[in-house]
Amino acid sequence: MKLASFVPVAALTRRSMGWTRSVQPPGRPNIIIFVFDAWSAFNVSLYGYGRETMPNLARFAERAAVYHHHYTTGTFTPPGTASLLTGTYPWSHRAFQLGSGIIDRYADKQIFSVLKDAHATCGYSQNKLVDKFLFQMEESLDAHIPIGSFSAQHRYLYNLPIFKNDGQVAFASFEDNIFQEGGGFDASLFFGPAFRTKTLYDRTVLTNLFQQDYPRGVPDSAELFLLEEVVDGALNTLEHSRQPALVYMHFFPPHEPYTPKAGCFQKFRNDTFISDISGPHPLSLDNKKKGTLRAEQRFYDEYLLSWDDEFGRVYDYLDASGLLDNSYIFITSDHGQIHDRGESGHMTSLLFEPLMHVPLVVSRPGQKVREDIYTNTSHVDLLPTIAALSGNPIPEWAEGEVLPGLGGSENIDRSIFVLDAKSNSSFMPLRKYSLSLTRSRFRLTRYQYPQYEGYEFYDLDADPGEKQDLYGSLPTAARDMQAEMLDRISDVNQQYMRK
């Protein structure tokens, strides 16, 4: 076992002074946010999936509000997470690309800055792209737990203490640049390959060491980690937190590679479940065969089951420690995951339900009964909701609404947007993008690229799998939504147009 899991959290944090102090006023509820990376509602039994992938989540849901139509705002980590943290859509925070940060004017407009006066704030992420955001927000964090604190392997350099004031530039300089991650050429001629060889050697040793426990390989977030150690570390953090606290924890599972523990490995191999997989979309990059996609979907499901085992421990701890009685606990994801239309993963320009529809389960302090909420909700709603729950005013910059069930009202006609613009500059008007607008039971999606342009329109009640594109018949709802979409694009582009 790794020592890090047992070290008091104050010893691990980059900023730990504030974490150990008492914060006033007392009596306010804690806010605990657990984000599971690349976690699609599509594959979760709680949301009607054909495999029993997350029984412990279902257990938790028995005393929580289950949001059945909750959407992220982007289909990969930076846009989705930045929206969750800032309460704004990607066209505002501009974290469009893998390496991008939140633009400067939103760096201090986020969930930690809203709550920092009355709550001890703590951020932890296993995903380096989110850890980079936490660096941007460090001024508002009492504790920023280093990315590798609960990992079995350490390879990142950007978070070394000498770069304490410049995490973002150090990140861009070292990660995937001076030292490559995976394939490619390092900027460092001699140290680059030497460092990578050492890293790969460490990985081989760890993989061999834990082969019995992890038959498909050790979980990998660029640093190898063990599911149980990460959970131990998280629970240790919670145990040492001063209350009331705002704790944000971004876990890498069930992000690929799908590496379940031995007990869940091949668990669904011989079941009868067969998912309905469509053929490739014109924008599909992988064009994988249906058999391959089904196999990968099964691996994903087995990894989910394995992660759910660990989540069961988290739930038991929350219950036993009394945190369920004095905390709002949010469980969600940054984005979904697809094994359909030729694509596997989430680095795609496609906007379909498995990529956008993410779980959201929220437990109120002392809640004993399950609630089901079917209204469309969005990641931009989390910040205003948390602000309201913690007795703070809702910031004027927030673009979402207070969640129904947590003080907000159901608004069935509201518009929910999801944007993917990874090939568009953050500083230029939106020209190359995928944008979906979901309103009530309808979804309009626009793909705007040099190689492919077009609209698609789906009735999600009649066709939840989005198989029948109704745009050709151009129903009235599609026309209205198209007008709203174009207006919105025009609005958000205004400030980026050349004078």
Beta bridge partners of residue 415, listed in sequence order: 439
Phi, psi of 255 (to 5 degrees): -55, 150
Taking the C-alpha atoms of residue 165 and residue 444, their distance in angstroms, rounded to an integer, is 43
Compute the least distance from the CB of residue 101 to other proteins, in Å.
Answer: 7
Binding to other proteins by residue 450, rule CB under 8 A? no
Binding to other proteins by residue 164, rule CB under 8 A? yes
Q: 134 or 323, CB closer to other proteins?
A: 134
Compute the least distance from the CB of residue 182 to other proteins, in Å.
Answer: 5
**Segment interacting with other proteins (CB under 8 A) among 19-27, 168-176, 361-369, 479-487:** 168-176
Binding to other proteins by residue 18, rule CB under 8 A? no
Binding to other proteins by residue 163, rule CB under 8 A? yes
Q: 326 or 425, CB closer to other proteins?
A: 425
Q: Which two tokens stand for residue 409?
A: 């009202």
Binding to other proteins by residue 173, rule CB under 8 A? yes
Binding to other proteins by residue 493, rule CB under 8 A? no
Q: 28 or 128, CB closer to other proteins?
A: 128
Contact positions with other proteins (CB under 8 A) in 193-252: 193, 196-197, 200-201, 203-204
Q: 184 or 475, CB closer to other proteins?
A: 184
Task: Among 2, 20, 108, 177, indicate the residue that binds other proteins (CB under 8 A).
Answer: 177
Q: 51 or 128, CB closer to other proteins?
A: 128
Compute the least distance from the CB of residue 425 to other proteins, in Å.
Answer: 5
**Segment interacting with other proteins (CB under 8 A) among 4-12, 95-103, 259-267, 307-315:** 95-103
Q: 4 or 102, CB closer to other proteins?
A: 102
Q: 224 or 338, CB closer to other proteins?
A: 224
Task: Among 52, 59, 188, 465, indicate the residue that binds other proteins (CB under 8 A).
Answer: 188
Q: 169 or 412, CB closer to other proteins?
A: 169
Give the interface with other proteins as residue ranges (CB under 8 A): 94-97, 99-101, 162-166, 168-170, 172-174, 177-178, 180, 182-193, 196-197, 200-201, 203-204, 423-427
